[in-house]
Amino acid sequence: MGKPRHSVLGIRHHGPGSARSVVRALEALQPDAVLIEGPPDADALLPLLGDPELVPPVALMVYSATDPARSCFYPFCDWSPEFQAIRWALENERPVQFMDLPQTYVLRAENELMRSAPGVDALGELARAAGYASGDGWWEDQVEMRRDDRALFEAILLAMDAVRQEFDKLRPQDAYEAKREAHMRKTMRAALRKHEHIAVVCGAFHAPALDQLKSFKVGEDAALLKGLKKERLACTWVPWAASRLSLSSGYGAGMQAPAWYQAIWESGRRADSALSTQSAGGTDVFGSTKEPLGEDLGEGHSRGQSQIVGPRGPTEPQRIALPENWLGQTARLLRAQGLELSSAHVIEGVRLAEALAALRGRSRAGLEELREATRTVLLSGDDRAMALVRQELEVGDALGAVPESVPTLPLQKDVEALIKKSSLIRATAPQNKELDLRKPKHKATSLMLYRLQRIGIGWGACQGSGGMGSFKEIWTLKWDPGYAVQVVASSTLGNTLQAAATQALARDAQALEHLGELAELVDQAILAELPTAGLLQVLDDKAAVASDIQALMSALPPLAKLLRYGSVRQAPTEQIRPVLERLFERVVVGLPGACVQVDAALAGALVEHLDDCHGALALMGRPEMQADWSELLLGLQDAEEVHPLIRGRAARKRLEAEALTSSGLTTLAKQALNQVVEPLDAAWWLEGLLKGSGLVLVHQKALWEVLDQWLSTLNEDTFIALLPMLRRSFSSFDTVTRRRMRTQLTQGPKVQKTDAMNTERAGQILPVLQHILTGAPHV
In the bound state with another protein, the residue whose beta carbon lies nearer, of 248 and 302, is: 302
In the bound state with another protein, the residue whose beta carbon lies nearer, of 196 and 382, is: 382
Which of 166, 372, 517, 523 binds another protein (CB under 8 A)? It is 372
**Contact between residue 50 and residue 87 where contact means Cβ atoms under 8 Å apart:** yes
Q: Which of 500, 518, 498 is nearest to 508 (CA)?
A: 518
Is 355 a residue that touches another protein (CB under 8 A)?
Answer: yes
Is 631 a residue that touches another protein (CB under 8 A)?
Answer: no
Is 324 a residue that touches another protein (CB under 8 A)?
Answer: no
In the bound state with another protein, the residue whose beta carbon lies nearer, of 348 and 520, is: 348
Cα→Cα distances 168→200, 217, 502, Å? 23, 18, 42
From the list 104-112, 152-160, 355-363, 520-528, the region that binds another protein by CB under 8 A is: 355-363
CB atoms closer than 10 angstroms to residue 366: 22
From the list 119-127, 205-213, 351-359, 455-463, the region that binds another protein by CB under 8 A is: 351-359
Is 387 a residue that touches another protein (CB under 8 A)?
Answer: no
Cα→Cα distances 503→236, 395, 408, 497, 510, Å? 21, 21, 21, 10, 11
Which of 114, 544, 751, 768 binds another protein (CB under 8 A)? It is 544
Which of 44, 170, 309, 765 binds another protein (CB under 8 A)? It is 309
In the bound state with another protein, the residue whose beta carbon lies nearer, of 238 and 613, is: 613
Q: How far is CA 611 from the centre of its chain?
A: 33
Residue 675: CB partners within 8 Å, gap ≥ 6?
Answer: 713
Count Cβ neighbours within 10 Å for each residue of 559-569 and write b for 16 or more, e otherwise.
bbbbbeebbbb
Is 590 a residue that touches another protein (CB under 8 A)?
Answer: yes
CB atoms closer than 10 angstroms to residue 468: 9
Burial class (CB in 10 A: 0-12, 13-18, 19+), 735: exposed
What number of chain residues touch another protein (CB under 8 A)? 34
CA–CA separation, 604 vs 592, rounded Å?
Answer: 15
Work out the angle between the directed axes of helices 576-594 and 533-545 (0-180°, nearest 10).
Answer: 20
Q: Which of 124, 209, 213, 215 is nearest to 161 (CA)?
A: 209
From the list 145-153, 288-296, 303-311, 512-520, the region that binds another protein by CB under 8 A is: 303-311
Is 174 a residue that touches another protein (CB under 8 A)?
Answer: no
Which of 12, 20, 303, 351 binds another protein (CB under 8 A)? It is 351
Is 376 a residue that touches another protein (CB under 8 A)?
Answer: yes
**Contact between residue 445 and residue 473 where contact means Cβ atoms under 8 Å apart:** no
CA–CA separation, 122 vs 143, rounded Å?
Answer: 15
In the bound state with another protein, the residue whose beta carbon lies nearer, of 321 and 359, is: 359
| Type of residue found at 353 | A
Supply the minimum distance, in Å, between the C-beta of residue 560 and another protein: 20
Cα→Cα distances 87→19, 22, 61, 264, Å? 11, 11, 18, 19
In the bound state with another protein, the residue whose beta carbon lies nearer, of 110 and 340, is: 340
CA–CA separation, 583 vs 11, rounded Å?
Answer: 51
Is 359 a residue that touches another protein (CB under 8 A)?
Answer: yes
From the list 86-94, 200-208, 582-590, 639-647, the region that binds another protein by CB under 8 A is: 582-590
Is 563 a residue that touches another protein (CB under 8 A)?
Answer: no
In the bound state with another protein, the residue whose beta carbon lies nearer, of 110 and 641, is: 641
Count Cβ neighbours within 10 Å for each residue of 177-205 and write b for 16 or more, e otherwise.
bbbbbbbbbbbbeebbeebeebbbbbbbb
From the list 41-49, 197-205, 322-330, 580-588, the region that binds another protein by CB under 8 A is: 580-588
Which of 288, 423, 547, 774 binds another protein (CB under 8 A)? It is 547
| Type of residue found at 127 | A
From the list 91-99, 109-117, 119-127, 376-384, the region that binds another protein by CB under 8 A is: 376-384
Q: Which 3 state secondary structure label does DSSP give 97? A: strand
Cα dihedral 623, 625, 628, 634 in deg (nearest 10): -70
In the bound state with another protein, the residue whose beta carbon lies nearer, of 356 and 655, is: 356
In the bound state with another protein, the residue whose beta carbon lies nearer, of 312 and 438, is: 312
Which of 114, 218, 222, 308 binds another protein (CB under 8 A)? It is 308
Q: For 72, list phi and psi in degrees, rounded to 5.
A: -150, 135
Which of 1, 429, 545, 773 binds another protein (CB under 8 A)? It is 545
CA–CA separation, 44 vs 53, rounded Å?
Answer: 17
CB atoms closer than 10 angstroms to residue 282: 14
CA–CA separation, 194 vs 210, rounded Å?
Answer: 18
Is 256 a residue that touches another protein (CB under 8 A)?
Answer: no
Which of 180, 345, 413, 649 binds another protein (CB under 8 A)? It is 345
**β-bridge mates for residue 76, sequence order:** 58
Supply the minimum distance, in Å, between the C-beta of residue 556 and another protein: 16
Which of 1, 117, 280, 344 binds another protein (CB under 8 A)? It is 344
8-state DSSP, 596: B
**Contact between residue 487 and residue 412 where contact means Cβ atoms under 8 Å apart:** yes
Which of 54, 377, 448, 555 binds another protein (CB under 8 A)? It is 377
Is 342 a residue that touches another protein (CB under 8 A)?
Answer: yes
Is 219 a residue that touches another protein (CB under 8 A)?
Answer: no
Which of 92, 165, 305, 408 binds another protein (CB under 8 A)? It is 305
Which of 197, 360, 472, 701 binds another protein (CB under 8 A)? It is 360
In the bound state with another protein, the residue whose beta carbon lies nearer, of 345 and 561, is: 345
Supply the minimum distance, in Å, between the C-beta of residue 337 and another protein: 15
Is 288 a residue that touches another protein (CB under 8 A)?
Answer: no
| Type of residue found at 631 | E
Q: End-to-end CA distance of the chain, in Å? A: 156
Supply the minimum distance, in Å, between the C-beta of residue 587 and another protein: 11
Residues within the interface to another protein (CB under 8 A):
305, 308-309, 340, 342, 344-345, 348, 351-352, 355-356, 358-360, 372, 376-377, 379-383, 541-542, 544-545, 547, 582, 585-586, 589-590, 593
